[in-house]
Amino acid sequence: MKKALFIFVIIFSVTAANAQYKQLNVRGGATISSLYETYTSNKSLVIGAEAGLGYRKVSKHNWGFETGIYYAGKGTKFNNTGVKVHLDYVGANADLLYNFPLVHNNDLLFGAGVFVADAIGGKSTKDSTGASEKLVFGDDWTRFDGGIEVRAGFVINKTVTIGAHYGIGIFNIHSDLDPRGRSNKGRSSSATVNVEFNLYKLMGKK
């Protein structure tokens, strides 16, 4: 972990000193998510929204970084009980990037990094009745989440980015018993597609 952090700091420093371009991006998109569990169980994906603000800098050597803050709606559906859980997260991410320049001032971006998030609220809804109730954290569900992510994007004229990212948690956010009575731990798993707009460009800054 210390070695990875050291490498990140070195690349961050080199990138900052040799900036080719920088962006302040506002983004919005859709997320599909569920739980990755110790034992396979009958669950479905749920759809939520994502919105955020990010800062991206790429060096003349095509290495770069991106960091940002975001809101994301995640959750899962338990098919055996017909209960859908929705969680409202606020979080932050930091990624190392590699930029592939294309023609007409366009680029391809690929990256990997980490995210942390905290659930500021949540609810469970039963399909059969439509009744909802506030989710109580501390027993079956925990607020904190964090993990690793990979991302890719197509950058149009350094202004608009059409992107996608996938993240998987490394901490258990849910625990219960599976149908055989075994302790079942769940970690977050989500994929997101979004569109980002470079505020610097829109405001006329280079």
CB 107: neighbour CB atoms within 10 A? 19
Please say whether the structural domain 2-202 has been given the CATH code 3.40.1190.20: no
Bridging pattern class, strands 43-44 and 19-37: unpaired
Sign of CA dihedral 140, 115, 31, 188: negative
Does pLDDT of 69 surpass 60?
yes
Q: Which residue has the higher pLDDT, 62 or 175?
A: 62
- Percent of the chain residues topping a pLDDT of 70: 85
Domain ranges of the chain: 2-202
Mean pLDDT, range 105-110, rounded to an integer: 96
The segment with the largest mean pLDDT, out of 4-8, 55-59, 184-188, is: 55-59
Strands (E) located in the chain: 19-37, 43-44, 46-59, 63-78, 83-101, 107-126, 132-134, 144-156, 160-169, 174-177, 183-198
**pLDDT attached to residue 19:** 55
Q: Which pTM was predicted?
A: 0.85
Q: For residue 138, give both structure tokens.
A: 């501390």
